[in-house]
A and B are shown apart, each in its own frame.
Chain A
Amino acid sequence: MSFSSRIATLLIGIAATLVATENSGKAAAADNDWVMPGKDFAATRYSALADINGGNAARLHPLWTFSTGVLGGHEGQPLVVGNTMYVVTPWPNVLYAFDLTKEGYPLRWKYRPEVSPNSIGIACCDTVNRGAFFVDGMIVYNLLDGHTVAVDAKSGREIWKTQVADLSAGETTTMAPLVVRDRVIVGASGGEFGIYGWVKGLDLKTGKVIWTGHNLGSDADMLIRPDSYKPPYEQGPDLGVRTWANGSWKTGGAPVWGTISYDAQLDLIYYGTGNASPYNPEQRAGDNKWSSSVLARRPEDGALVWAYQFTPHDSWDYDSTGAMILADLTIAGKPTKALVHFDKNGFAYTLDRATGKVLVAAPYATLNWAKSVDLASGRPVLDPAKATGASKGNVTDICPSLEGAVSPSSPAAYSPRTHLFYTSTNNLCMDYQAAHSSYLRGTPFMGANTPYKAGPGGHLGAFVAWDAASGRKVWENTEAYPSWSGALATAGDVVFYGTLDGWFKSIDARTGKVLSKFKVGSGVVGNPITFRGPDGKQYVAVYAGIGGDWFLLAGDVRSDDPADMRPAADYIKDIARRTSQGGIVWIFGL
Chain B
Amino acid sequence: MKRSRSTWQRLRGHARTGAPGSCALAACLALGSCAGPTNSPPPQPAAAGPPGIAYEAHVAAGAVVPGGVELHNPHSGDKAVAAAGAMLFTTMNCDGCHGGDAAGAVGPALGDGRWRYGGADAEVFSSIYFGRPKGMPAFGGALGADGIWELVTYLKSLTPPPTVPTESWQGP
A→B interface (CB under 8 Å): 116-126, 167-169, 192, 194, 246-248, 250-251, 278-279, 283, 317, 390, 402, 432-433, 435-452, 549, 551-553, 555-556, 561-571, 573-574, 576-577
- 10 tightest A-B contacts by CB? A121-B135, A444-B96, A435-B16, A441-B52, A450-B13, A564-B108, A552-B11, A565-B112, A563-B114, A443-B93
Q: Is B93 a contact of A119 with CB atoms below 8 Å?
A: no
Q: Is A433 a contact of B108 with CB atoms below 8 Å?
A: no
Q: Is B14 a contact of A448 with CB atoms below 8 Å?
A: yes
Chain A residues with Cβ below 8 Å from B105 are: 552, 555
Q: Is B45 a contact of A561 with CB atoms below 8 Å?
A: no
Q: Which of B64-100 contact A (CB under 8 A)?
A: 90-93, 95-97, 99-100
The answer, among A121, A251, A563, for a CB contact under 8 Å with B46, is A251
Q: Is A451 a contact of B20 with CB atoms below 8 Å?
A: no
B→A interface (CB under 8 Å): 5-17, 20-21, 25, 42-43, 45-47, 49-56, 59, 90-93, 95-97, 99-100, 103-109, 112, 114-116, 133-137, 142, 161, 163-165, 167, 169, 171
Given the interface pairs A449-B15, A564-B112, A566-B109, the reply to whether A118 lies near B56 with Cβ below 8 Å is yes
Nearest residue in A to B54 (C-beta to C-beta)?
A168
Q: B164 to nearest A CB, angstroms?
A: 5
Chain A residues with Cβ below 8 Å from B9 are: 450-452, 553, 569-571
Chain A residues with Cβ below 8 Å from B90 are: 435
Q: Is B8 a contact of A436 with CB atoms below 8 Å?
A: no
Cα of A320 to Cα of B38 in the assembled complex, Å: 40
Q: B94 to nearest A CB, angstroms?
A: 8
Q: Is B56 a contact of A451 with CB atoms below 8 Å?
A: no
Chain B residues with Cβ below 8 Å from A192 are: 12, 96
Q: B120 to nearest A CB, angstroms?
A: 14
Cα of A168 to Cα of B57 in the assembled complex, Å: 10
Nearest residue in B to A435 (C-beta to C-beta)?
B16
Cα of A440 to Cα of B51 in the assembled complex, Å: 7
Chain A residues with Cβ below 8 Å from B100 are: 449
Cα of A37 to Cα of B62 in the assembled complex, Å: 39
Q: A123 to nearest B CB, angstroms?
A: 7
Chain B residues with Cβ below 8 Å from A283 are: 45
Q: B121 to nearest A CB, angstroms?
A: 17
Cα of A123 to Cα of B7 in the assembled complex, Å: 21
Given the interface pairs A117-B135, A121-B135, A441-B49, the reply to whether A555 lies near B12 with Cβ below 8 Å is no
The answer, among A168, A251, A567, for a CB contact under 8 Å with B56, is A168
New contact pairs (18) apart from A436-B16, A552-B106, CB-CB < 8 Å: A118-B135, A120-B135, A124-B106, A168-B54, A168-B55, A250-B47, A283-B45, A437-B16, A440-B49, A443-B92, A444-B97, A449-B10, A449-B15, A450-B12, A451-B6, A564-B104, A565-B104, A567-B5
Nearest residue in A to B95 (C-beta to C-beta)?
A444
The contact sample of 12 A-B pairs, CB cut-off 8 A, is A121-B135, A168-B54, A194-B46, A436-B21, A438-B91, A438-B93, A440-B50, A450-B13, A552-B12, A553-B8, A555-B105, A563-B116
Cα of A539 to Cα of B16 in the assembled complex, Å: 49
Cα of A317 to Cα of B13 in the assembled complex, Å: 10
Q: B107 to nearest A CB, angstroms?
A: 6
Chain B residues with Cβ below 8 Å from A444 are: 93, 95-97
Q: Is B14 a contact of A447 with CB atoms below 8 Å?
A: yes
Given the interface pairs A125-B12, A448-B14, the reply to whether A565 lies near B46 with Cβ below 8 Å is no
Q: Is A117 a contact of B53 with CB atoms below 8 Å?
A: no
Q: Is B6 a contact of A563 with CB atoms below 8 Å?
A: no
Cα of A443 to Cα of B141 in the assembled complex, Å: 14
Q: Is A445 a contact of B106 with CB atoms below 8 Å?
A: no
Q: A439 to nearest B CB, angstroms?
A: 5
Chain A residues with Cβ below 8 Å from B164 are: 565
Majority secondary structure, B binding face: loop
Q: Is B169 a contact of A553 with CB atoms below 8 Å?
A: no
Cα of A224 to Cα of B87 in the assembled complex, Å: 43
Cα of A444 to Cα of B89 in the assembled complex, Å: 12
Given the interface pairs A450-B12, A553-B11, A555-B8, the reply to whether A121 lies near B167 with Cβ below 8 Å is no
Given the interface pairs A168-B52, A443-B93, A446-B12, the reply to whether A250 lies near B135 with Cβ below 8 Å is no
Nearest residue in B to A447 (C-beta to C-beta)?
B16
Chain B residues with Cβ below 8 Å from A194 are: 46
The answer, among A439, A441, A449, for a CB contact under 8 Å with B45, is A439
Q: A146 to nearest B CB, angstroms?
A: 11
Q: Is B115 a contact of A563 with CB atoms below 8 Å?
A: yes
Nearest residue in A to B113 (C-beta to C-beta)?
A565
The answer, among B16, B46, B114, B169, for a CB contact under 8 Å with A439, is B46
Chain B residues with Cβ below 8 Å from A246 are: 45, 47
Q: Is B167 a contact of A556 with CB atoms below 8 Å?
A: yes
Nearest residue in B to A561 (C-beta to C-beta)?
B108
Q: Is A390 a contact of B103 with CB atoms below 8 Å?
A: no
Q: Is B116 a contact of A437 with CB atoms below 8 Å?
A: no
Nearest residue in A to B105 (C-beta to C-beta)?
A552
Q: Is B133 a contact of A117 with CB atoms below 8 Å?
A: yes
Q: A138 to nearest B CB, angstroms?
A: 29
Cα of A167 to Cα of B50 in the assembled complex, Å: 18
Nearest residue in A to B117 (C-beta to C-beta)?
A563
Q: Is A567 a contact of B106 with CB atoms below 8 Å?
A: no
Cα of A317 to Cα of B10 in the assembled complex, Å: 14
Q: Is B52 a contact of A442 with CB atoms below 8 Å?
A: yes
Cα of A576 to Cα of B167 in the assembled complex, Å: 9
Given the interface pairs A168-B52, A317-B12, A435-B20, the reply to whether A565 lies near B114 with Cβ below 8 Å is yes
Nearest residue in B to A443 (C-beta to C-beta)?
B93
The answer, among A167, A556, A570, for a CB contact under 8 Å with B55, is A167
Nearest residue in A to B18 (C-beta to C-beta)?
A435
Cα of A89 to Cα of B149 in the assembled complex, Å: 39
Q: A193 to nearest B CB, angstroms?
A: 8
Q: Is B20 a contact of A126 with CB atoms below 8 Å?
A: no
Chain B residues with Cβ below 8 Å from A568 are: 5, 8, 167
Q: Is B112 a contact of A446 with CB atoms below 8 Å?
A: no
Q: Is A449 a contact of B14 with CB atoms below 8 Å?
A: yes
Q: Is A567 a contact of B8 with CB atoms below 8 Å?
A: yes
Chain B residues with Cβ below 8 Å from A126 are: 106
Q: Is A564 a contact of B136 with CB atoms below 8 Å?
A: no
